[in-house]
Structure 1
Amino acid sequence: MPLISRRRFIAGIGSAGALWPLGRTAIAAPEATRIMATTRILDVKGKAAKVFGLEMPLGKHGFNFKASQRLRLALTNMLDESTLIHWHGQTPPTEQDGVPQLSQPALKPGESHVYDFKPRTGTHWMHSHAGLQEQKLLAAPMVVRDNADLAADELDHVVLLHDFTFREPQEILSELQAGGGEHAAHSGGSGDMGGMDHSKMAMPAAMINDVAFDAFLANDRTLDDPAILRAETGGRVRLRIINGAAASNMWIDMGALDGELIAVDGNAIEPLREKLFPIAIAQRVDIRIAMPREPGAWPILFRPEGTAQRTGII
């Protein structure tokens, strides 16, 4: 599929996003690879936002491993507060699981720790298990591919989803603990609703979402500034989608494309063909796409429940 300009794509369909390719050559080396927990600046709807991040070698965002490799990562905390990273979907020894006070003490600013274990095949991710750091985007993809994956004649791409707010997470948590938040207007008594057909009532958005997010991100980007990805006309794409949102279940809308769900949470499943797939918080799904033989732009949208906002990729 030919590359089209961002301006042309937005003007034509008004929805897209960004894919992070985890290329076939982006395989971690056998020696311990350094990861730094640090801060970074994102442009969200034209405003600068300071968030956390996991800085990888050569500017990569996330890791791609062979199933035959041992995972050897040296994590260094460059933040001004303690942190620890959990390997979501992996099954390391308990002392390497990355949960403060359960597996090991949190790393203080400037401290490092080396993790060494055999990874589990599939689409996974790594994220902070310290305080509210995950809500500030301290997370990254982690994909482990077996020989069949490596030999497959298809492009392999990953999308990490987030819900985003310019507010401090602690401020939002304090508000929720005090009984406020997006749901507060609906927290009063419901009165006598006997005799009503509840099956035909749509749940108010404020009863689904406790937090009003400012944006939803696909690979750190909104629909205001999407990236356009090349894909081979008539070829196949394996789309690995990770819902790293703090509080948002989503729907994957394939648009004009047909999707074949082939794995959930790193486990292969009986393939399921659909155009709409749910993805829960922290869940991972792998969708195989047979690209059309004619050139064009093919958006895939991610629609959070209870809001008209959306994000997407192409």
Structure 2
Amino acid sequence: MDRRQFLKISSALAVIGSLPTITLAASPSPGFDYELIVAPANVRIAADGDTPAWCFNGHFPAPVIRAKQHQPVRIRVVNQLDEPTTIHWHGLRIPIEMDGVPFLSQPPIMPGETFDYEFTPPDAGTFWYHPHMNSVEQLGKGLVGAFIVDEAENPGFDADVVMGLKNWHIRDDGSFTALTTPRNAFRMGTPGRLMTVNGKTAPTYYIPAGGAIRARLANIDNTLTYDINSPQTDLTIVAIDGNPIAKPRPLDHHLMGPGMRLDLGFIAPNNAGETVTLYHKNKVLMTFQTIGEDKQRRELPRLPLNPIQAPDLDTAEVIRFAFEWDASINPIEKDGKVNYRFWTINRTPWDGMSADNIPAPLATLERGKSYIFELSNLTQYHHPIHLHGHTFTVLQSNKQTIEPFHTDTVLLGQNEVARIAFVADNPGRWMYHCHVIEHLKTGLMGYIEVV
């Protein structure tokens, strides 16, 4: 939406929702809220040529799915790839049958097949969705999208902007570079070349002058940890990884590993034409520019906390997990390809699974019981550790001062030890892994079982 278009229609918008918006899925099948068609599509990301991407509904960015807290949503997924896929709803506490992990929670969606997802989100916030098969390629080529759960009662922001952060592995002509290399998978992961927000380089978004703005950032990248900062001093962190924080705090800088999200709130400058810019380190991510008459907002709306059950820390069982390198010799498959295994959880590398071969869980938890996980990163690289099906509380770290907060993904730095706690209240077999995609594909993955 450019400035002229905005001015033309702004008088008709008594309440501004999402500016600019990402196209929603159109014409779903009867009885469904959304239909996602997974298929190859040429998209323009680079300046000099199209990219042969894999997309939802034929374009990038993917449709933003918007659901309502405590209300059911039905989504039909149609697989038009030449390989199986699934869809995982990252960060959502939903039944195991809807979690989208092949073999562990559902059969793969084979080429030409459909799968119907239906669930009721208990939490409001910023989430996202992606396949959980052939993840390096399917996510790397574009199968990533934002999932927004609106609060049961509208908190009253004047603009709600959704931004997916992704570094594309593409050349200037749009062709793909290598999505992964063994050398990089053994380290931090293979970096992309082109940093984008919603598929654009350093875009500008127009917001109402003097309005209360909610900026939702989702790291949908395979590899990169973003260091979010801004020279403006009045930006406030209001939610982390889909969960409002009890005491919103000013943005200094915030590290977002792959899979993580961040909601920022701010009062827009009062005069038309003023800007607010977000950076990754010292690189411009995107810019907001004000237009229209001053809305004269003075305070940010407060977000209600999500209904997360508090763990009993006095009776919680402590389970320790160490994330480290695998020093073993990697096996060679019958076709001559090396089965790279670089990473381990408690000295066990994930070796994949099939319908007939489900490995043992890393831990078996008793439903309704409180647990403390002690997470030790015994490597020099960042690991965003993600747990499916649950929201946990980050309690403490040996590397930083922690104000306890709720999340589904915790970023562990070099030699960092963190403690997280949660109630195992969602039965099923839940994936538990690093969200640097090359790390999970080369061993840094497993699952816990809640019975």
**Which TM bucket (shorter chain)?**
0.7 to 0.9
Of the candidates 207, 210, 219, which is equivalent to residue 198 of structure 2?
Answer: 219
2:158–2:208 CA contact under 8 A, matched in 1: no
Q: Please, which runs of 5 or more residues in structure 1 have no aligned partner?
A: 6-18, 184-206
**Structure 1 residues 172, 296: closer, same or farther in 2, change over 3 A?**
same
Deviation of the 1:297 alpha carbon: 4.2
1:22–1:157 CA contact under 8 A, matched in 2: no
Residue 38 of structure 2: aligned partner: 37
**Structure 1 residues 117, 110: closer, same or farther in 2, change over 3 A?**
same
Aligned residue for 2:275, secondary structure, equals: coil
Q: Distance in 2 between matches of 1:171 and 1:296?
A: 41
Matched, 1:83 2:102: no
Of the candidates 230, 233, 240, which is equivalent to residue 264 of structure 1?
Answer: 240
Aligned residue for 1:95, secondary structure, equals: helix
**Structure 1 residues 20, 283: closer, same or farther in 2, change over 3 A?**
farther
Residue 159 of structure 1: aligned partner: 163
Deviations 1:128-178 (A, max 9, x none): 111121111201100001133x241421110001121128989543x31xx
Q: Please, which runs of 5 or more residues in structure 2 have no aligned partner?
A: 6-18, 289-451
Of the candidates 140, 143, 149, which is equivalent to residue 145 of structure 2?
Answer: 140
Aligned residue for 1:287, secondary structure, equals: strand
Deviation of the 1:29 alpha carbon: 11
Corresponding letter in the other structure for 1:292: P
Residue 215 of structure 2: aligned partner: 239
Residue 392 of structure 2: aligned partner: none
Corresponding letter in the other structure for 2:264: I
**Structure 1 residues 84, 141: closer, same or farther in 2, change over 3 A?**
same
TM-score, length basis structure 2? 0.52
**Structure 1 residues 248, 258: closer, same or farther in 2, change over 3 A?**
same
Larger Rg: 2
Deviations 1:196-235 (A, max 9, x none): xxxxxxxxxxx7x542421111001113xx3x33211111
Residue 12 of structure 1: aligned partner: none
Corresponding letter in the other structure for 2:144: A
Aligned residue for 2:273, secondary structure, equals: coil
Of the candidates 117, 120, 132, which is equivalent to residue 115 of structure 1?
Answer: 117
1:215–1:309 CA contact under 8 A, matched in 2: no
Q: Distance in 2 between matches of 1:136 and 1:89?
A: 22
2:51–2:176 CA contact under 8 A, matched in 1: no
2:233–2:250 CA contact under 8 A, matched in 1: no
Matched, 1:253 2:232: no
Aligned residue for 1:138, secondary structure, equals: coil
**Structure 1 residues 153, 122: closer, same or farther in 2, change over 3 A?**
closer
Deviations 1:227-261 (A, max 9, x none): x3321111111011100111100122223362111
Deviation of the 1:104 alpha carbon: 1.1
Deviations 1:242-295 (A, max 9, x none): 001111001222233621111111111010112432222111111101101112
Corresponding letter in the other structure for 1:274: L
2:46–2:170 CA contact under 8 A, matched in 1: no
Q: Distance in 1 between matches of 2:95 and 2:210?
A: 43
Q: Distance in 2 between matches of 1:239 and 1:29?
A: 31
Corresponding letter in the other structure for 1:246: N
Larger helix percent: 1
Aligned residue for 2:140, secondary structure, equals: helix
Q: Distance in 1 between matches of 2:29 and 2:81?
A: 25
Q: Distance in 2 between matches of 1:29 and 1:154?
A: 32
**Structure 1 residues 30, 239: closer, same or farther in 2, change over 3 A?**
farther
**Structure 1 residues 281, 212: closer, same or farther in 2, change over 3 A?**
closer
Percent identity reads: 25
Q: Distance in 1 between matches of 2:98 and 2:177?
A: 27
Q: Select the structure with the greater relative contact order (CA < 8 A; seq sep ≥ 6).
A: 1
Q: Distance in 1 between matches of 2:78 and 2:190?
A: 32
2:191–2:223 CA contact under 8 A, matched in 1: no
Deviation of the 1:54 alpha carbon: 1.6
**Structure 1 residues 70, 160: closer, same or farther in 2, change over 3 A?**
same
Q: Distance in 2 between matches of 1:257 and 1:53?
A: 37
**Structure 1 residues 78, 310: closer, same or farther in 2, change over 3 A?**
farther
Corresponding letter in the other structure for 1:35: L
1:91-130 equivalence runs, <5 A? 91-119=93-121, 120-130=123-133
1:124–1:142 CA contact under 8 A, matched in 2: yes
Aligned residue for 2:97, secondary structure, equals: helix
**Structure 1 residues 172, 139: closer, same or farther in 2, change over 3 A?**
closer
Aligned residue for 1:157, secondary structure, equals: strand
Count of matched residue positions in the alignment of Structure 1 and Structure 2: 262
2:237–2:264 CA contact under 8 A, matched in 1: yes
Q: Distance in 1 between matches of 2:30 and 2:65?
A: 13
